[in-house]
Amino acid sequence: MKIKPLLCLGSLSASASILLIGCGAAEPDASPPKPLVSVMKVQASRLDLIEELPGRVAAVRVAEIRSQVGGIIERRLFEQGTEVRAGQGLFQINPAPFKADRDTAAASLQRAEAALARAQTQVVRIKPLVDADAISGQTYDDAVSQRDQAAADVAQARAALARKQLDLQFARVQAPISGRIEQAMVTEGALVSSSDAQAMARIQQIDQVYVDLRRPSVSLDVLRQALLEHPAGSGASLPVTLLKGNGEPYAAQGRILFSGVSVDVGTGDVLLRVLVDNPRRELLPGMFVRARVPLASHAQALTVPQQAVVRVAGQPQIWVLNEQGQVHRKSVELGELTERRYRVRAGISAGQRIVVEGMERLSEAVSVTSRDWKPAAASAPAASL
């Protein structure tokens, strides 16, 4: 009977303790923490803009070797795949028929010269007789005509002899240009003629080569401006770097010769031709390469990471941190994007601090906690307009 009042008293005490504890635990609400952002200071630096374009190598000069006379090939006078010089003999065609034709033409010339000498002597002999009216003037005129015809025959025979001598020279097929000769398309014993459709061999001059690049015609004005701003003021001295398949540059640099004036209706591209010195013969006709073409150079360019730019209704903007630790959003005018960084044409100035990371919770004039932004490891360079 005494236990029940004690239990009731204990319950009341526990309830009172809980109420007291609950009242003592109540604390005022804490203010939300400031947004944490990563910032960087904008600095002016030199910026060289380049563009990588695919290209194909072509020889500066290509000569297809063909015979100017018909005959049987006796010998091949070169090693396939080697360098040959202009005037070097490549094939020897059987010269015997041409020698015989030359001798025949020489004999015809001698006969014509003898006839001319006789006709000249005849004119000299009858000239006094005409003056003395011993013979008619018609006889003298006939003698003069025969002399002139004999002179014409001599000229014709001399020209025929010169042609036969040329045919004899053409029996030795020579290289018209210096360069690397490819494989022979005919062998000893083959019959060739000047009307053959197939060439006997082909020579390509590759101590210098062309690299033909194509780029969209809509961006051609950018290149033209680069040509005008270049110190030399001419595309002939605008340097171009060629890249190997693994990305390494070739030792030799090229220079743009001209810009194509015609546009491919299928692709909308224009042609850029680059002349490259190739003393090591590393570049071969038909190879595909990539070329770095300089587009512009800015001595004091302001660049910002691509991720620092936010777009509001299509307008690029950047969050700027002031001295009071507050952020403000500013509209900017962007230029080229290169290596994941935009060139800023207008809107910010050197020395300002901009937000690169952590702008998700930002609002105008909000105070933030800032830290220095650390860029990730540099990736492979990429450039675009």
Q: Give residue-wise pLDDT tens across range 114-125.
A: 999 999 999 898
> Which residues, in sequence order, are CB contacts of 307 under 8 Å at separation 6+?
356, 357
Which of 2.160.10.10, 3.50.50.60, 2.40.420.20, 3.90.1150.10 is the CATH number of 36-47+299-384?
2.40.420.20
Evaluate if pTM is beyond 0.85. no
pLDDT of res. 99: 96
67-90+175-198: CATH topology: OB fold (Dihydrolipoamide Acetyltransferase, E2P) (2.40.50)
- Outline which parts of the chain fall under CATH 2.40.420.20: 36-47+299-384
- Outline which parts of the chain fall under CATH 2.40.50.100: 67-90+175-198
- Outline which parts of the chain fall under CATH 2.40.30.170: 51-60+205-298
CB 96 within 8 A of CB 221: no
256-260: long-range contacts at Cβ-Cβ below 8 A with a sequence spacing of 24 or more? 256/227, 256/293, 257/210, 259/220, 259/223, 259/224, 259/235
pLDDT of res. 33: 83
**Domain 95-170, CATH class in plain words:** mainly alpha
5-31 average pLDDT score:
46
- Outline which parts of the chain fall under CATH 1.10.287.470: 95-170
51-60+205-298: CATH topology: Elongation Factor Tu (Ef-tu); domain 3 (2.40.30)
d(CA 143, CA 88): 51
**Model confidence over 211-263: pLDDT tens digits?**
988 877 766 666 666 666 555 544 446 788 999 888 888 888 888 876 555 67
Average pLDDT, the chain: 84
Beta strands at 369-372 and 327-331: parallel, antiparallel or unpaired:
unpaired
**Model confidence over 33-89: pLDDT tens digits?**
888 999 999 998 888 778 888 999 999 999 999 999 999 999 999 999 999 999 999
For residue 131, pLDDT over 70 is answered with yes
d(CA 49, CA 161): 65
